[in-house]
Structure 1
Amino acid sequence: MRESLGTALSSKALTRRNLMRGTAVGAAAAAGAGALSACAPSAGGEGGGKNTLTIMAPENEFSPEFLKNAEKELGVTIKRVEVDPTKLTAMLASGTAPDLVRGLGAVETPYVVSRDLALPLDDYFAKSELLKEDDIDPVNDVWRFDGSVQGQGPRYGMAKDYSQDAMFWYNTALFDAAGVAYPSETEPVTYDAWLDMGKRLTQKDGDTVSVYGLSAGGLGLFLGLTNMVASAGGSLFSDDLGTVDFSSPEGQQALAWYLEYARARVGFSPVEPNADGWDWPPYQTSRLAMSWSGYWFGGAIAAEAGLAETSRLAPAPTMGAERISPCYGATGYWIPKASKNHDAAWQLFEWFMGGDPAKERAAGGWGMPSLMSLRADLPTGTAAQAQALATQEAEAEYFKVLSFTPYVKVEALDAVLNQYLPDAIDGDATAASLADTLNTDMNALLAEGKELVK
């Protein structure tokens, strides 16, 4: 199962201390990492560890069997620890930093770089025979940060695979049953037209919804709104990434759209939570007509023959004149500066990203490979797989890095949204009044985070 960036948080009142916890933890980790990196021996140096790597990774990516194969291939011992931000902080501060860490390049790169946690990898990439610059998909620019702009500067990591996450899947059988025309496979629908389709596709029996027309939760509320604002020609973040502004015309447009979507009860929201936790169960059982999920979702669809026949992938909707199609995750790995085994960590990183494991991931169809040369390994055996890949490849032209702030984690900003959206949706709040509240709380968090990384 794909891990969601936007796990629903409690709508109960949240203190600023709790929301800032991730930032404070990051600052503490930075202090520990800075001290450690100055004295950390290189791989094979004094202090041991040259034959043992510690990785922070989920078991579904580094299973016991996979670890055995990796150890045999690379001639090292690998210890896996579960992904846990609190544990990572403790390990960095105690001098036992992991050697490889799983992360979300699109939203975490500025955060770890600004705290001097991540090792720049340009020198390694320059010498690599597996990961060549002209073969690396441009989506991996989200793993670059020059201190001011994401997408520029050194590379600090790489995606194991990716999707352009503002695209959406739809079930043609439910469209046929409702008499709704299919969206174009080449031209984006507008958000307004998308919502209209969602309303027409929703089936209700009194107050009970049997089929939701549209799930617009995607991989997180804040990221979805960020994309909408960018598509309308604006930016939620200021140029220095230190503040947000929902009161701009583009910000108002995005909030107004989301309020209309949530109030229409055509899909999941903070007041209409998804009991399954993610879109696959309702989509699998034909209780959801459109899912705001990228190419990766096709990996699940392909296993259901009947559903695969009726599923299609569509371009990312547009809110204004600018057609963009971002990546919200780019889930991959980075090497901590405080690691004592940089060279051995890179050896594992390189093999995992460009060797046989990368080829096997591409063949599974659970995401686009980070190396363009591996696109030939993507599955096209069914009409649905061929359609999805063709749509995805055409969408690549519209990829754009949306710079994320280095000062707080996306979870903190999602928490603010989840705190205020329920009352706004159920009440008569306007986009303008909601914007003022969001600006106040989010900018206070960003200001505190900025102070911590000065």
Structure 2
Amino acid sequence: MQTHARAPVSRRRFLGLSAAGAVAGAASLSGCALQVSTGVSGPGESVTVMVKSGDLTPDLIKQAKKDTGITINQVDYDITKLIAMLTSGNPPDLVRGVGAVDAAYFAARDVMQELDTYFANSSVLRVDDLDPVNDLWRYDGKVQGKGSRYGMAKDFSQDSMFWFNTAAFDKKNVAYPSETEPVTFDQWLQDAQRLAQRSHGQTTVFGGSYNGLVKLTLMATMTASAGGSLFNDDFSKADFTTPEARKALAWYIDYCKLKVGPSAILPDPNGWDGPTYQAGRLAMSNNGYWLGGLIGTDPKLAKVSRLAPAPVFAGGPRISACQGGTGLWMPRKAHNKDAAWRIFEWFFGEAPAKARATSGWGIPSLKSLRPLMPAKEEYQKRTLKAQENELKHFSVVAVSPYISVDAFESLFNQVSTPAMQGAMSVDTLAGHLNSVINQQIERGKEQVG
């Protein structure tokens, strides 16, 4: 396959890539490039893969060499290092990414390789076998979810779903949510209020968590659940003042103000839901199927845990999106694309993919691997039934390619804190968010254009 003969990323696009760092306070970047694969063909090839430590274990790297004959040189994922490598023209051959928020962002900046020809010629990763979640990794130059494929999810969850602990519901005499029909957001919040436990003014048991994976996808998916879109048609503006976006924003601010669950003004001491749910200090956890991998390590907890559908707004559509879709993408200037694709196939369609499918830590992104999902124990059968029912309601919720996930998160939390504390109205907050978010989007659009 021919390599595109393009110059390294321009300074203008570099500024677009690093815009998030300006907001989040990232350090300035140097031009230090790491050694990458040599492009040697045949046995003995090597590829550089930038991932987090848990993505590729030493054992998996050894297995890759055994199965494919290709040596993986692993580089720890770091956005500063990645941008330096991209701008110097020496990128890794494969890079970790989160489809929901990274695909359109990087594709719009022309640093990703289109993979359509590779997919078309692959006997391992057939397009008709790809779960629709992989559409998160598509971008047509305007809208996420359509057009060329730029990557693939290793597995996924529908992250607006939630787990609940029946023991916590029994203790407070609260009726269980249905495992097939969604509760309304208002009902969820009422339940969370009843389930929360406090002592001496301190929350000892959270009634429920509902923060999504990041605020960008949380606000976008909740607005979609209200029947609207957080962004305009060309994604050049966000609008929190539309009836649908305001409904989503008002609900989330109420959730924070009521202090029924962790938020920017009531942090979870554990940093995330897992340990808190395991300890019986969280009655409902807004995490999808993947959290079952953790829950399943404790048989007593697994017995009282249930997975419920994504909530809905009364009168709104049933939306159950994936807010993650973590996987890999190939930089356009990668030096050894064919070898990188072989590792791509192996990682997403061969031994590692089959092992992930059996683990319960995510839904396989190949439909043919779904029969491997754990269904031996009663709780696994119950979870699988709820999950299979929910798959019918999956849809891609597109986000703007002109603002990074980190920039959105930082700005949202900064501007929203007074409203969470009851010191600002939702309408005032919506106006402030429009101002700061759209300033950032405008800068991003100028850098991409």
Q: When the two structures are superposed, what TM-score results if normalisation uses the length of structure 1?
A: 0.90
Q: Which amino acid aligns with 1:164?
A: Q
Q: Which amino acid aligns with 1:196?
A: Q
Q: Does 1:425 align with 2:420?
A: yes
Match in the other structure for 2:321: 326
Superposition deviation, residue 18 in structure 1:
2.4
Instruction: Give the SS at the match of 2:218.
Output: helix
Distance 2:255 2:240 in 1: 17
Question: Does the 8 A contact of 1:20 with 1:445 survive in 2?
Answer: no
Match in the other structure for 1:11: none
Question: Does the 8 A contact of 1:219 with 1:328 survive in 2?
Answer: yes
User: Which one of the candidate residues 130, 141, 144 is aligned to 1:136?
Assistant: 130
Match in the other structure for 1:18: 22
Q: Which amino acid aligns with 1:436?
A: G
Q: Does 1:100 align with 2:104?
A: no
Instruction: Give the SS at the match of 1:173.
Output: helix
Superposition deviation, residue 49 in structure 1:
12
User: Which one of the candidate residues 384, 388, 402 is aligned to 2:379?
Assistant: 384
Superposition deviation, residue 334 in structure 1:
0.6
Question: Does the 8 A contact of 2:195 with 2:206 survive in 1?
Answer: yes
**Partner deviation per Cα, 1:51-72 (whole Å, 9 max, x = no partner):** 2210001221211121111112
Distance 1:258 1:446 in 2: 22
Distance 1:157 1:219 in 2: 20
**Partner deviation per Cα, 1:126-145 (whole Å, 9 max, x = no partner):** 11111111111011100000
Q: Does 1:124 align with 2:118?
A: yes
Instruction: Give the SS at the match of 2:146.
Output: strand
Match in the other structure for 1:77: 71
Distance 1:386 1:53 in 2: 40
Superposition deviation, residue 339 in structure 1:
0.6
Match in the other structure for 1:393: 388
Match in the other structure for 1:8: none
Q: How does 1:337-352 map to 2 (within 5 A)?
A: 337-352=332-347
Q: Which amino acid aligns with 2:189?
A: L
Superposition deviation, residue 403 in structure 1:
0.9
Superposition deviation, residue 402 in structure 1:
0.8
Pair 1:120–1:17, CA change in 2 (3 A) = closer
Instruction: Give the SS at the match of 2:96.
Output: strand
Question: Does the 8 A contact of 1:295 with 1:368 survive in 2?
Answer: yes
Instruction: Give the SS at the match of 1:439.
Output: helix
Question: Does the 8 A contact of 1:20 with 1:449 survive in 2?
Answer: no
Structure 1: gaps of 5 or more residues: 1-14, 33-39
Match in the other structure for 1:256: 250
Question: Does the 8 A contact of 1:49 with 1:340 survive in 2?
Answer: no
User: Which one of the candidate residues 82, 102, 109 is aligned to 2:103?
Assistant: 109
User: Which one of the candidate residues 349, 362, 366 is aligned to 1:367?
Assistant: 362
Instruction: Give the SS at the match of 2:254.
Output: helix
Match in the other structure for 1:162: 156
Superposition deviation, residue 248 in structure 1:
0.6
Question: Does the 8 A contact of 2:220 with 2:399 survive in 1?
Answer: no
Q: How does 1:230-269 map to 2 (within 5 A)?
A: 230-269=224-263
Moved more, 355-364 or 69-78: 69-78
Superposition deviation, residue 111 in structure 1:
0.9
Superposition deviation, residue 94 in structure 1:
2.4
Q: Does 1:407 align with 2:411?
A: no
Superposition deviation, residue 44 in structure 1:
3.8
Distance 2:89 2:436 in 1: 35
Question: Does the 8 A contact of 1:43 with 1:49 survive in 2?
Answer: no
Instruction: Give the SS at the match of 1:102.
Output: strand
User: Which one of the candidate residues 269, 294, 297 is aligned to 1:275?
Assistant: 269
Q: Does 1:436 align with 2:434?
A: no
Match in the other structure for 2:353: 358
Superposition deviation, residue 78 in structure 1:
1.3
Superposition deviation, residue 42 in structure 1:
9.7
Question: Does the 8 A contact of 2:100 with 2:217 survive in 1?
Answer: no
Superposition deviation, residue 206 in structure 1:
2.5
**Partner deviation per Cα, 1:146-204 (whole Å, 9 max, x = no partner):** 01111110111000000010000000000000100000111101000000000000011
Moved more, 120-129 or 284-293: 120-129
Distance 2:58 2:423 in 1: 53
**Partner deviation per Cα, 1:217-254 (whole Å, 9 max, x = no partner):** 12122321211111111110111011100001111111
Distance 2:87 2:141 in 1: 23
**RMSD value over aligned CA atoms?**
2.2
Count of matched residue pairs: 426
User: Which one of the candidate residues 134, 144, 147 is aligned to 1:153?
Assistant: 147
User: Which one of the candidate residues 442, 446, 450 is aligned to 2:445?
Assistant: 450
Q: How does 1:164-179 map to 2 (within 5 A)?
A: 164-179=158-173
Superposition deviation, residue 335 in structure 1:
0.7
Percent identity, please: 48
Q: When the two structures are superposed, what TM-score results if normalisation uses the length of structure 2?
A: 0.91
Question: Does the 8 A contact of 1:218 with 1:291 survive in 2?
Answer: no
Instruction: Give the SS at the match of 1:303.
Output: coil
Give 4+ residue runs of structure 1 displaced > 2 Å after superposition. 15-18, 40-45, 93-96
Q: Which amino acid aligns with 2:372?
A: D
Pair 1:97–1:228, CA change in 2 (3 A) = same
Match in the other structure for 1:88: 82
Instruction: Give the SS at the match of 1:363.
Output: helix
Distance 1:247 1:17 in 2: 27
Instruction: Give the SS at the match of 1:396.
Output: helix
Match in the other structure for 2:223: 229
Question: Does the 8 A contact of 1:43 with 1:50 survive in 2?
Answer: no
Q: Which amino acid aligns with 2:140?
A: D
Distance 2:215 2:39 in 1: 41
Match in the other structure for 2:52: 58
Match in the other structure for 2:11: none
Question: Does the 8 A contact of 1:256 with 1:430 survive in 2?
Answer: no
**Partner deviation per Cα, 1:356-394 (whole Å, 9 max, x = no partner):** 110000000100001111111000122221111111111
Question: Does the 8 A contact of 1:20 with 1:408 survive in 2?
Answer: no
Match in the other structure for 1:292: 286
Pair 1:301–1:16, CA change in 2 (3 A) = closer
Match in the other structure for 1:195: 189
Moved more, 92-101 or 239-248: 92-101
Instruction: Give the SS at the match of 2:147.
Output: strand
